[in-house]
Amino acid sequence: MSDALDHRSHAYRADLADSRLKGQVTAERYTEGAPGEVIVPVADIRPRPDAKCSIDTQALLGEALIVFDISGGWAWVQLAADGYVGYVRQEAIRQGSTLATHVVAVPRSFVYPGPDLRFPHRMVLSMGSRVSIVGDAETRGTPYALLEDGSAIVATHLRPVGEAATQDAVSVAARFLETPYLWGGRTGLGIDCSGLVQMALAMTGKAAPRDSDQQASGLGAVVDPQRDGLLRGDLVFWKGHVGFLEDPDTLLHASGGTMTVTREPLQAAIDRIARLYGLPTVYRRP
């Protein structure tokens, strides 16, 4: 049996492994895990149960996951949406799940203790957060969606689960312009290059892997710029980086150079990035 499967997408350790991997990896025991969900606005997912190590990705309020193990205040989980495996603080999740009805469809939104924007907000939610709406209200002409505990979100910031906000992923990505770059981030408060791609595609109803190398190896079809030409929405990959084409000559991406989501001429980006990381490795059309 091979123990060389990608740990980012396969849950296995020497002492414990996902039962679906039995026969593929060796472990002392196997488990099916238990369903769970994120109960905080943003939960950092790390490669080890260590708050000092960098984050690999983030999970948002209401996201479903499988819990394989809980020990020492950490939960070892796999996210349902993209299959990413890692460790999250135990208090950020709960076992079991609720039926989310709506998804936050703007880069950021506030949760208020009641249907009034003048109330002090309780939390900030990112695009992609999932909530269960049980009612509605209106205050001074502003419509609100109500959660079970009576708290409220501006209704126009939500869309029903399963309803694509748009068919144009680039327009979603453009809503994140000037958002700070954050390694491993995938929220309206901080996002990285592949997180931007994944989030933008998700809001159009298209699933995408989490990391840029995973996206480069299998997201959509390979495009030859000389033979096929380049279109809005195509993806340009470098080693460790990815960005959308806003048009054939303009790149929209979460840039470690500016430390923001930014747009720049494609050729200028190619020339700048080449000095450190080489030329683009592949173009793909999701």
Give percent helix, percent strand, percent coil of the chain, each to the nearest 5: 15, 40, 45
Q: Per the residue annotation, which of 10, 102, 157, 241 is the catalytic one?
A: 241
The predicted pLDDT at position 4 comes to 84
Per-residue pLDDT of the chain (286 residues; tens, 9 = 90+): 556 899 999 999 999 999 999 999 999 999 999 999 999 999 999 999 999 999 999 999 999 999 999 999 999 999 999 999 999 999 999 999 889 999 999 999 999 999 999 999 999 999 999 999 999 999 999 999 999 999 999 999 999 999 887 789 999 999 999 999 999 999 999 999 999 999 999 999 999 999 999 999 999 999 999 999 999 999 999 999 999 999 999 999 999 999 999 999 999 999 999 998 999 999 999 9
pLDDT tens sequence across 29-53: 999 999 999 999 999 999 999 999 9
Q: CB under 8 Å to 37, separation ≥6 — which residues? A: 62, 63, 64, 65, 93, 94, 96, 97, 98
- Indicate if 253 belongs to the active site: yes
Full set of structural domains in the chain with CATH: 16-95 (2.30.30.40), 102-160 (2.30.30), 169-285 (3.90.1720.10)
- What is the Cα–Cα distance from 207 to 126, expressed in whole angstroms? 18
3-state secondary structure of 239: coil
pLDDT tens sequence across 166-192: 789 999 999 999 999 999 999 999 999
- Indicate if 241 belongs to the active site: yes
- Indicate if 157 belongs to the active site: no
**Element holding 136 (H helix, E strand):** strand 133-139
Q: Per the residue annotation, which of 10, 102, 157, 193 is the catalytic one?
A: 193
Give this prediction's pTM. Answer: 0.96
β-pair type (93-95, 85-89):
unpaired
- What is the Cα–Cα distance from 146 to 159, expressed in whole angstroms? 14
CB burial readout 193-212, b (16+ within 10 A) else e? bbbbbbbbbbbbeeebbbbb
The predicted pLDDT at position 108 comes to 97
**Element holding 270 (H helix, E strand):** helix 266-277
- What is the Cα–Cα distance from 60 to 80, expressed in whole angstroms? 12
